[in-house]
Structure 1
């Protein structure tokens, strides 16, 4: 029987696991994060720019699968929002922090520290402290983005290349004559473009990715999706055709067709073999991402305005090289479907390629150490950590661990859709119930 749980990572997944262990009367727990300020917020909800909005309406953002209106009630009481609102991410961080505070008692300890090892007795921190635990849960969130081919950060002057957009101000030291290159055109690039704009940067921004696709927008007033309970009669590789057929019949068009798959996406992924999943990642993932993870209308309006003003441009192509120059960086790149190399003078390059999960490329001391000794292993497609259906990690020999689990985006190899609140809340709820031996607990008093 589990008596004490060490939760490594105080972002959404780790915090919600702690909250549910308390709700379910489960074992005592220690919630550990490198930064006290990030507990209950993590990277996603630590954003201080009000322009960074959730890309899901408030109605879909409850922390609990057994209390669908929990966030809407909190929002209405604190800020006057409604179910259809797209609220700032910083408010969602406030919600998580208050939810944790509402249930916290002496069964939960908050700890600031850097976990460096999982031991037979629990975990060991970088400063030498040891925390005893008979169950350790990795809730470390995404790994930082990898540096794309063609760029050698060591060959560029300090400040010209930002490997992680959340570690520094991308506008610092720039003026109106400068150009910033965003590597990537997805949600991270959108966030950084908004951050540059909010900071007063008046120069030009170029967002570059292999296909140049940018996220679509949510549309107000569309008919709600009719959620599916059955799996489509096609594999992942045939999903596009199936969605086109469904979109033609749906009052809400392709948006409703895509949203209708939410209840069965993980099952569809699980029903596909490795080769089919690999083909999906190689050919369809970029199109899935821009249709599935859409922008709040207010955010889309701001991005459209920046594009119309000539301050932001989305282009398709591939980086060929980056060389230091006196004013900045000479970027060589090849436009999509072209052979000739072009050159672009930029003052700064920001890596917006998005979070990664390849254990074989991580320099995180904890995960690299666990992988090095065979306690964890990459999933088959190197999207994250290999786990079973109960979130227990699988070691290098293929054995399932009884005392080490993993939750959150690093389990995407087995689940695929496990980055948004609706999926994460279910995963953490299920694990908390199992560790607490709970059958069902309602949300009374929350």
Structure 2
């Protein structure tokens, strides 16, 4: 329900709401946590977008499962069983699974989107007036005359706020030079767009640029539509995400590793040989933010160049049943995963002619396909963003990208740094936009803690008069 947006509110700055730009997972959790703290929040979201769903839980079908077990998907860090209760803990869910197996279950992403929408609806009902919604597109944030901030909307409205939080979530994949200029539906640049695969016939030959979780989502979507044609998935190393164990490991807390750089990699490998790689990676989860921040920019860059692909496939895993289906498609010859680089692409009648070079060789391979889908994952570089608000803030120097181009440059309190490196305004970011500070800021367990902590911080601050 849209609100009547204040043009020049008469509230004192400290009594104005917090404006949250984006109503996906991050924005929804922050609004609910602010309401719990007794602070008014206004979610600014585009029309036609389901609140709480966002990209991860909106553009998906029933075949798309969460990548984290239900036991760790509560919206609230202080109530870890909240999602389990919503699912019906203790009652056998569909498919004959016993209630005791539910914590190990990988629920559907569509169900999780409904869960988040319910969390928001229940908060609004229980705390009337504390969470409002403004339908519209923000294109700028400027200081107001009384020390607050003013959100300018595309239709001329303005919303005054004590603080503004950017929570736009994931951006579409970055464009690829070899596929630039080739029109849809031959090239599908945004695999999360509505009806992205409607033009792909069941017998079409499909090329996927990327072999991570985005590619897994696309393969599942095509498979669910009855696709029978060949699928070729290409990435520099040809690595697929690893699978979760059928039963989640119980990991005892471990101290923060003291090793850094290559010595840290050696430490993790040694632990993997001792306790298994699932345990070795999961032991690091409470420490990833501290480990990332303990490395200077040069060390972070080395990690991104050399270790990131291996970290990603072990850290960001597939549900076991999805991994089994992917393996079956490979065994049937319908899916081929290769390592290499895409060098060129051009139209060849109604098809695409691709030239790619297998890893470790000098001889390029020519392949004809009907469609190419960019599956390289969300583009974290805000300098390539198509979001109108980010583009405006960056262009006039009110924000800047972090050194590794993983998101925005923010201070330890999640405030945006301007072109000069100063964080002078109550202008914040959360979620994937803050990967430059925290690295692992894409999963529910990380973002729910950030939402709680940021809400407590915002509830305490007072905008100077």
What is the TM-score with the length of structure 2 in the denominator?
0.90
- 2:425 is aligned to 402
Deviation at 1:216, TM superposition (A): 0.5
Question: What are the superposed Cα offsets for residues 83-131 of structure 1, whole Å, 9 maximum, x if unpaired?
Answer: 1110000111111111111111212211221111112231111111211
Deviation at 1:20, TM superposition (A): 0.3
- 1:443 is aligned to none
The alignment status of 1:53 with 2:73, answered yes or no, reads no
Deviation at 1:36, TM superposition (A): 4.3
- For 1:346, which of 363, 369, 374 is the aligned residue? 369
Q: 1:346 to 1:366 in 2, by over 3 A?
A: same
Q: Distance in 1 between matches of 2:233 and 2:71?
A: 31
Deviation at 1:401, TM superposition (A): 3.0
- 1:201 is aligned to 227
- 1:131 is aligned to 159
The alignment status of 1:210 with 2:222, answered yes or no, reads no
Q: Secondary structure at the match of 2:416?
A: strand
Q: 1:76 to 1:177 in 2, by over 3 A?
A: closer
Deviation at 1:145, TM superposition (A): 1.2
Deviation at 1:67, TM superposition (A): 1.1
Runs of 4+ displaced beyond 6 Å = none
- For 1:289, which of 304, 308, 312 is the aligned residue? 312
- For 1:14, which of 21, 27, 44 is the aligned residue? 27
Contact residue 182 and residue 189 of structure 1 kept, 8 A: yes
Question: What are the superposed Cα offsets for residues 20-58 of structure 1, whole Å, 9 maximum, x if unpaired?
Answer: 0111112x1110111443311101011441110001101
Deviation at 1:79, TM superposition (A): 7.8
Q: Distance in 2 between matches of 1:384 and 1:346?
A: 34
* Deviates most, 104-113 or 406-415: 104-113
- 1:248 is aligned to 273
Q: Secondary structure at the match of 2:57?
A: coil
The alignment status of 1:271 with 2:291, answered yes or no, reads no
Coordinate RMSD, CA, aligned: 1.6
Q: Distance in 1 between matches of 2:269 and 2:376?
A: 28
Q: 1:158 to 1:96 in 2, by over 3 A?
A: closer
Q: Secondary structure at the match of 2:199?
A: coil
- 5+ residue gaps, structure 2: 1-13, 94-98, 145-149
Contact residue 179 and residue 187 of structure 2 kept, 8 A: no
Question: What are the superposed Cα offsets for residues 367-422 of structure 1, whole Å, 9 maximum, x if unpaired?
Answer: 11101111111111111101111111111111113310000101000110000001
Q: Distance in 1 between matches of 2:361 and 2:306?
A: 19
Q: 1:4 to 1:174 in 2, by over 3 A?
A: closer
- 1:66 is aligned to 78
Contact residue 2 and residue 135 of structure 1 kept, 8 A: no
Q: Secondary structure at the match of 1:62?
A: coil
Deviation at 1:286, TM superposition (A): 0.3
Q: Distance in 2 between matches of 1:293 and 1:96?
A: 21
Q: Map of 1:15-54 to 2, 5 A cutoff?
A: 15-26=28-39, 28-54=40-66
Q: Secondary structure at the match of 2:333?
A: coil
- 2:458 is aligned to 435
The alignment status of 1:381 with 2:404, answered yes or no, reads yes
Contact residue 226 and residue 256 of structure 1 kept, 8 A: no
